[in-house]
Amino acid sequence: MGRALREAPAHRLLDPLRIDLVQQFGAVSADLLLVDYGQTELRPVEPVQGPVEPQPMESGPAGRAFATQQPYLSGEDGPTATAFLPVSVRGDRCGVLVVVLPAERLAPGTTSELADLAEMLGHALRVADRHTDVYRRTRRARALSVPGEMQWDLLPGRACVSEEFDLHAHWEPAYTSAGHVLDWSVTGHGLTLVVADGTGPGAEDVLVSNLALNAIRNARRAGLDVVGQASLTDQALYGQYGGERPLSALLMSLARHSGEVQVVDAGSPTVWRSRGAVVERFDLERQLPLGMFEDTVYVAQRLRILPGDRLVFLACDRFEPTEGGQGRAPDRTMHRVIESTRHLSAANLPREVVRALRSQGGPTPEGLLVLCLDWHGDRTADRTDGAHEEG
C-alpha cells in the first residue's frame, strides 16, 4: 500500500487506496474529507464515490472522529457499516477518511487496520500537496485572498506532536491574513519555537513576516541559539525597513531532558502558564521589537517548566487599547478563558480561546493567533531530581 501511494499521481492518491480497500475489505466506497482553512467544514475531495458532501466540522460522525482523533464506526447492525477514520500527520489534523464496507466483513482489528491506512494516507497527502492544487482547492470554503495565500505558504501548519509535547495553534482570519509569524523545530535536544504578533492584513505586511521568518530559520539552521536568531532577524528587518516595520516576537527554546527554557521577549506576544489549578501570566523581561533599531543587543531569560505544564501564547495584530490601555487582550479575560478551557485538549483549546475572545464584547483585534503547548518532558528520564523546582 505504501509503495502504491508513493507511485500514484499526486492528484489521484485515492485511486490505489480504493483498490486496496476493495480487495482487502470489499469496500463499497471510500472518500476523503479535508478540513477547510477556517476549521469550520469537512469537504470531500473530488471525485467522490459515496454520498458525501461538505459538513460542519463540529457535528456528525465525521466531526466526532476529527475532534477526538479516534476511529468511529457506525451502522454495523445493518448491511453496511461506515468507518470514520482521522487523517493526520504528526498531530496536524488534515481530515477524515470515510469507508463504507459490508458489515459481514467486519472483524476484530478491522477498524485498527483501516486507521493505519488513514495514517499512511495522511503522510502521502503531505508529500503530494507539494505537486498539485487539488487538496488545497478542496480546503477552500470560500475565496482565499492573496495575502492569505502567502501566509498559508509561510507557516508550518497548525500542530506538531512528539513524546515530549503537544503543540497546537489556531489563527483568524483564516481566509485573509493578519501577518502573524509562527514556526517550530524539533531536535534531539528539544523544541525551538517563535511566535510573533500580526503585522497587518496586506501583502506588504506578509512580506515583512516572510523576511522575519526566513531570517529566523536561517539563523536556527546555522546552529544559532535564540539570541542569535533574534539578532540576525533584527539586522535583516532594520536593513530592509530602517526601523519602520518592527516585529514584536517571542523566541523560545525548551530543553527535552531538563525543561529548561531560554526565551527572548522582543516586545512579544503574551504567555500564560497553567499548572494544576493555577493560571498565571509569565512575567518576561521585555526587550525591543525586532528591527526597531540598529544593532540591538538581546539577552536570553532562563526559566523552567515542569511535566504537566501548559503554556498558552496569544499574538494579536495592532488594535485600539482595551483594559489598562496596553493595546492587548485584557489579562483578566485571558485568565478566565484559559481557566474555563483547562479541561480541553491542547488540540481543541486554541480555537476555543479565539472564539471566547471574539464573543467577549468590546474591542478585539482583527487578527488573533493562539498557540497551546502541553509539556510532557522526557518521559524516559528520571525526574526525581528537581521535580519540585518552580519556574
What's the CATH code of the domain at 106? 3.30.450.40
**So what's the pLDDT on residue 361?**
62
pTM for the structure as a whole: 0.89
Short-list 338, 378, 374, CA closest to 357: 338
Overall average pLDDT of the 10-27 stretch: 94
Q: Are residues 305 and 171 in the same domain?
A: yes
The predicted pLDDT at position 283 comes to 86
Residue 323 clears pLDDT 70, i.e. is over it? no
Q: Are residues 117 and 151 in the same domain?
A: no
| Predicted pLDDT of residue 81 | 93
Pair 281, 151 in one domain: yes
pLDDT tens, position by position, 137-151:
999 999 999 999 999
Helix (H/G/I), strand (E/B), else coil: 137: helix
| Claim to verify: residue 161 and residue 18 sit in the same structural domain | no
For residues 161-173, give the mean pLDDT.
94
Round to whole Å and give the CA distance between 376 and 306: 8
- Is residue 385 scored above 70 in pLDDT? no
Q: By CB neighbour count within 10 A (0-12 exposed, 13-18 middle, 19+ buried), where does 207 fall?
A: middle
Do 183 and 91 fall into the same domain? Answer: no
- If DSSP codes are grouped into helix, strand and coil, which group holds residue 132? coil
Please tell me whether residues 317 and 194 are part of one structural domain: yes
Q: Predicted confidence band at 331 (pLDDT cuts at 50, 70, 90)?
A: confident
Is the CB of residue 61 less than 8 Å from the CB of residue 74? yes
pLDDT of 364 over the 70 cut:
no
Residues 6+ apart with CB under 8 A from 356: 333, 337, 340, 341
Verify that 247 and 270 share a domain, yes or no.
Answer: yes
Whether residue 318 lies inside any domain: the answer is yes
- Residue 89 domain boundaries: 2-138
Residue 175 placed within a domain? yes
Residue 352 in contact with residue 344, Cβ under 8 Å? yes
Q: Is the pLDDT of residue 327 over 50?
A: no
What does the alpha-carbon distance between residue 63 and residue 84 come to, in Å, rounded to a whole number?
A: 9
pLDDT band of residue 316 (cuts 50, 70, 90) is confident
> Does residue 299 have a pLDDT over 60?
yes
